[in-house]
Amino acid sequence: MLQYKNRVITGVTHDSRKVVPGNVFVAVRGLTTDGHDYIQQAVANGAELIICEQDPLIEGIPYIKIKDSRAALAILARNFYNRPDLDLITMGITGTNGKTTITTLLNHIFNENDISCGLIGSNGVSYTDQYWDAILTTPDAVNLYYYLHQMVEERVKVVAMEVSSHSLKQKRVEGMQFNLALFTNLSLDHLDLHGTYQDYLDTKLLLGKKLKPGGLIVYNKDDVIAGEIENSFRQPKISYGIKVKSADIKGYLTKTTREGSEMEVRVNSSYLPYIGTFNISSGLLGEHNASNLLAAICCALSFGLSPQEIAAAIVSFRGVKRRLEIIYNEKFTIVDDFCHNPANYEAVLRTVAVLPSNKIFLVTPVRGNRGELVNSENAKVIARWGKKLNLLKIIVTNSEDTVHPKDRVKGDEEIAFLKPLWQAGLNVSHTPTLTQGLELVLDEVEAGDLVLLLGSHPFKSVGEKILKMTAQHNIFMGTGQIRQENQWQKTKQ
């Protein structure tokens, strides 16, 4: 419970519209708005106290002036909700890729073994029978500590949580303490926020400084981040890997098919209660997912689960939405993935290389409001694999019918993406909308072909969209009539 001058504080918020009598209002400077401009509204709504970084223009209101409102918001929220992180076993997962798959895996493994687990990440917040859609990968500080408090109330034992670089940079997790910090990998991403790769790295490493006494660090020995982890932290560490022989937990892929994979896991760490070898079978595809599996196995073993308990849970895991997800596998196959950076494209296309198929089609977006660099680098990966995979057609779209207005593609971003593909001599079509791109691919796909839908936020509902179009397409084709002419192509001719 928080008090101010013997008055009970009824809540903490940084949104003046949500202020009710007795609340503390924290004025936070955002990217596009400044909370200091809404102090008057907060007071009118009954704010008991204002926390701010500059003297309010309104006289006679109680306020405390501080240097960092963002940090204060998180610390106040944590205390208001009675520091719930201390009553939970908290596992924070950070890195460029793999966070969602690993946290979802952990949530499944623990719950399958009757250990109540909460999940916080880009696919939402869930625990027991409660669920909230995700607005941010890591919620804002007030909502984060509210969710953790509710988990304590519901007797949740473990929390698997994605910790984004945005949340670390913006101090949403300020004050929070973790039992385990897991670092997956690091590659080019989010330069719109960080400016430089070094700042991105330094921000990610902040998670390792938020451990509880006796906390554990888990990291990917195969990745460039391994050296940074080993040089930056003295806490107990466990490494995992597929390529590097010296990893504490080593994985050996023994079988890969379109239906899944099998892997031998060798464990040799003094920080784990188990040393030995065991095998797992999984419906997840690709070397990158083998790495994700090893990460989750590290965390589960550190908690005390046995290899048998972990392996049994992994067998029943059905994957993560939009993470190398096979959404259609009848006349042809459609794979949907949340690709958004070069490492994503590399991992997915490397996996596709070992899958049987006739012709391969790729539909992918230009990333609007992300700049030229990431678009150029994404396209270079596609160009390299396009030759290796002999991609029949690459359909690039600006996704004007699905993208958020602030993420509209700019001309320089469009050229940055298309240029490497043109230079590679690949067969490229470019459409303004996602619907037009899907129409193009459905007009050409045949039995035994593979369609790849690789894209982030503009492709959020691409699976549902193409499945509806596929159903209509199959009915139409079943009548023996000539294919519909793509209307966008027609208007361009």
Which residues, other chains included, contact 283 with Cβ-Cβ below 8 Å and sequence gap of 6+? 259, 260, 317, 318, 319
Please report the sign of the dihedral spanned by the C-alpha atoms of residue 197, residue 136, residue 413, residue 32: negative
Distance CA 151, CA 130 (A): 10
Fold of 325-492: Protein-Tyrosine Phosphatase; Chain A (3.90.190)
- Which DSSP category does 48 fall into? S
Distance CA 111, CA 160 (A): 11
- Position 493 scores a pLDDT of 33
Q: What are phi and psi of 304, to 5 degrees?
A: 115, 0
- Token pair recorded at residue 282: 């999984």
- CA distance from start to end of the chain: 69
Distance CA 303, CA 399 (A): 43
Which residues, other chains included, contact 198 with Cβ-Cβ below 8 Å and sequence gap of 6+? none
CATH 3.40.1390.10 domain position(s) in the chain: 3-79
Helix (H, G, I), strand (E, B) or coil at 447: coil
Q: Evaluate whether 399 touches 459 at the Cβ level (below 8 Å).
A: yes
Please report the sign of the dihedral spanned by the C-alpha atoms of residue 285, residue 287, residue 291, residue 294: positive
CATH 3.90.190.20 domain position(s) in the chain: 325-492
- Token pair recorded at residue 490: 């027609």
Q: Taking the CB of residue 187, how many other CB atoms lie within 10 A of it?
A: 18
- Position 286 scores a pLDDT of 86
For 201, 351, 370, 465, 468, the CA distances from 439, given in Å and listed in that order, are: 40, 26, 26, 11, 11
- Position 470 scores a pLDDT of 84
- Position 192 scores a pLDDT of 62
Q: Evaluate whether 92 touches 156 at the Cβ level (below 8 Å).
A: no
Quote the radius of gyration of the chain (alpha carbons, Å). 24
Return per-residue pLDDT of the chain as tens, 493 residues.
677 777 789 999 999 999 999 999 999 998 789 999 999 999 999 999 999 999 987 888 889 999 999 999 999 999 999 999 999 999 999 998 899 999 999 999 999 999 999 999 988 999 998 999 888 889 999 999 999 999 999 999 999 999 998 999 999 999 999 999 999 998 866 566 656 878 888 999 999 999 999 999 999 999 989 999 999 999 999 999 999 989 999 999 998 887 889 999 999 999 999 999 999 999 998 889 999 999 999 999 999 999 999 999 999 998 888 888 889 988 899 999 988 888 889 989 988 887 777 899 999 999 998 889 889 999 999 999 998 898 999 999 999 999 988 899 999 999 999 999 999 999 999 999 999 999 999 999 999 899 999 998 788 888 888 998 888 776 444 333 323 333 333 333 3
Up-side HSE of residue 36: CA atoms within 13 Å toward CB? Answer: 14
Distance CA 194, CA 29 (A): 17
Distance CA 53, CA 356 (A): 59
Task: Specify the CATH number of the domain 83-315.
Answer: 3.40.1190.10
Q: What is the pTM of this model?
A: 0.83
- Position 221 scores a pLDDT of 97
- Token pair recorded at residue 232: 């930056």
Distance CA 397, CA 434 (A): 6
- Which DSSP category does 426 fall into? -
For 38, 190, 475, the CA distances from 30, given in Å and listed in that order, are: 12, 17, 50
Please report the sign of the dihedral spanned by the C-alpha atoms of residue 123, residue 125, residue 130, residue 132: negative
Task: Specify the CATH number of the domain 3-79.
Answer: 3.40.1390.10
For 22, 132, 270, 429, 462, the CA distances from 264, given in Å and listed in that order, are: 57, 36, 20, 42, 35
CATH 3.40.1190.10 domain position(s) in the chain: 83-315
Nearest to 324 by CA among 243, 421, 259: 259
- Position 357 scores a pLDDT of 79
Q: Taking the CB of residue 68, how many other CB atoms lie within 10 A of it?
A: 13
- Position 474 scores a pLDDT of 63
Burial (Cβ within 10 Å: 0-12, 13-18, ≥19) of residue 195: exposed
- Position 190 scores a pLDDT of 57
- Token pair recorded at residue 350: 């490397």
